[in-house]
Amino acid sequence: MSSNPFSLSFGKKPVEYIERFDLKQTVLTDLMSANPTSNVFMFTGVRGSGKTVMLTQISRELATEDDWIVVGLNPTRDMLTSLSAKLYAKQPVYALLENAEIDLSAFGFGLKIKNQPPVVDIETVLEMMFEKLAQAGKRVLITVDDVSNRLTVQQFISAFQMFIRDEAPLYLLMTGLYENVSDLQNSKDLTFLYRAPKYYMTPLNLGAMAHSYQTSLQVTPALAQEMANLTMGYPFAYQVLGYLVFQTQATSIATVLPQFDQIMQELVYEKIWSELSGNDRKVITVIAQGESRVKDIRTKVGFDSSKMSVYRKRLLEKGIVVSNEYGHLILALPRFGEIVR
């Protein structure tokens, strides 16, 4: 039996994958232009919506370009020190610094220049690196996955703003849940992030999903379309359903539906639910019971119009609900309602 082309792992690009070609090319074209529209780009969306895979695709494509240096950072660590160490480890950067006779021995980099005082401030180290890279015609892309409003990220973003103000050839690509990105944008001195392009990870094309299922699983066109419709375009659900059908060789969705619900609940929905407020849950529970008119949802949860507008907006931005018809809300995640009930 051949290996399963679908995956239950987050972040890693599976063998079977629906390309978001337009979004990827939009960001790549902008970054590779002579004058990009921004130095910061952000991907946001619900868990399992494909943010990390998109970040990985873009960073790997740019890494093949001679004039780009790509560095991925862990947001839980000292990001400035990590950036300097990872840049130093890149051969083109090391050569530029060695030729510039900059003593970085104070940071344990092993580059000690005779009769030169060591540089002892990390921001100064990075400024020197960016200056030499700019002179060599190099650009640096920094990627940060799953950002949140933690001190390490705040310090890094503040320094990043200073670097780009000094025209460093520096670009930042981040992913994060809507609420985490929003909290970061609202931090003191980081509101410049509001000007950065923010891309929401929208549902995948159902036709493309059906074609993928049909060709990779050798199922009938009718079953392939039924599978695609069940996922509602949610990338992780697309992977889970394909994985189960491949493993069981099922000829109907009903055969794998209990396993599908269990995996979705354990790997995604329990975490999503735990991160919602009590009022968020009230609204979702009413929708899960079959109510879709905003006016009727508001009545059942006991909110006034103003309060309902707040939670409607929150849940739309989080990617938990969608509004395909004026005055109505439905759940955006496949079988989330069944699990909530």
Phi and psi at 141, nearest 5°, equal -105, 125
CATH says 276-340 is which class? mainly alpha
Neighbours of 261 (CB within 10 A): 17
Cα(258)–Cα(95) distance, rounded to whole angstroms? 57
Return averaged pLDDT per consecutive 10 residues of the chain, 341 residues in all.
Answer: 88 84 95 94 94 94 94 95 86 67 55 50 84 91 95 94 94 95 87 88 95 96 98 97 96 96 96 95 96 96 96 94 94 95 82
Contact 104, 118 (CB under 8 A): yes
- pLDDT score at 115: 44
Asked if 51 contacts 44 with a C-beta cutoff of 8 angstroms, the reply is yes
Per-domain boundaries in the chain:
21-200, 206-273, 276-340
Query: What is the structure's pLDDT at 23?
Result: 94
Class at the top of the CATH hierarchy for domain 21-200: alpha beta
Please enumerate in sequence order all residues whose Cβ is within 8 A of that of 249, keeping only pairs 6 or more positions apart, or say none: none
pLDDT at 125: 80
Q: Which stretches within the chain are classed as H helix?
A: 21-32, 51-63, 79-88, 91-100, 122-135, 151-165, 178-185, 206-217, 221-231, 235-248, 253-264, 270-274, 278-288, 294-301, 305-318, 336-340
Long-range CB contacts for residues 83-90, cutoff 8 Å, separation at least 24: 83/126, 83/142, 83/156, 84/109, 84/122, 84/125, 84/126, 84/129, 85/109, 87/126, 87/129, 87/140, 88/129
